[in-house]
Copies of this chain bind each other. A is one copy, B any other.
Amino acid sequence: MAIELFNNGKHLCLIFDDLVDDSMGEAVQANQFLIVDNEHGALIDPGGNMTYNGLLMEMHNYFAPKNLDYILASHADPDIIASVNKWMIHSECKVMISKLWARFVPHFCSVGNSAGRVEGIPDEGMILPLGNSVIKAIPAHFMHSEGNFQFYDPISKILFSGDMGASIVPHTEVDTPVEDFKSHLQYMEGFHKRYMVSNKICRYWVNMVRGMDVEMIVPQHGRMFKGKKMVNEFLNWIEALPCGIDLMTQDHYREPK
């Protein structure tokens, strides 16, 4: 079921958190997002083939999918946009993704299906008009993907943070924002230590986010961080975390014998 993260009657932010069948433990839970402003819509990280039908049906209650302006993709992983071929057919939307991945997106598609509809976001990010509002593409390269964006909505003050802040939990536990940061760490730590590329990069990101007006960090997997206090707890933690290549040594690179 869709959950309203924000709604002032003209501007709506929705999260869909229960569309992945994670009951067998084979697929990782993932969140999808819809922002609607004055009858214009953007889907963020709509997911793979597994979530397509559910998302299409749920969206209908709020917005006609064929009127989508954008699919906003944080990067090109399967849980982010493996369904893009189907969205290309059922809507007129553009796909906005890092310029590093624009020429990789057609590999999800049937020949010709994506022609002229994939637009590369430059490294410095950009401001995208949506209805009477805007969505900002925020640079988050190497967290984890080499060309990676988060999406910031200045009206709701939500930062849709992609893999940053992700936690690996069953879909039944995603509805509630994080309440006790310390007890939540066990669901985040392993993921961030390996998928986030290095502490240096995390620190650049934290410096940037501290200068923004963020009320909520909402990741693509797991539970969200709501309110400035919880947002800061997350920033303080990730700023100090050794991760990715920081933890790699020659021992990780040996021919198996």
Residues of A within 8 A of B (CB): 20-21, 24-28, 30, 47-51, 76-79, 82, 85, 100, 103-111, 114-115, 118, 123-127, 136-142, 144, 146-147, 152, 194-195, 197-198, 200-201, 204-205, 207-208, 211-212, 244-245, 248-250, 252-256
Contact = CB atoms under 8 A, between A and B. Distances in A.
Contacts of A252: 123-124, 139, 141, 204
Given A204-B248, A256-B125, A142 B197 contact: yes
Contacts of A110: 49-50
How many copies altogether?
Answer: 2
A256 B108 CA distance: 29
Contacts of A136: 255-256
Q: Closest 7 A-B residue pairs measured CB to CB?
A: A48-B107, A27-B106, A78-B107, A204-B253, A125-B256, A28-B103, A79-B107
Contacts of A205: 253
B76 A77 contact: yes
Given A24-B115, A78-B76, A79-B107, A100 B255 contact: no
Given A48-B108, A50-B110, A207-B250, A245 B197 contact: yes
A137 to B, nearest CB: 7
Given A77-B76, A254-B139, A26 B114 contact: yes
A253 B139 contact: yes
Contacts of A100: 194-195
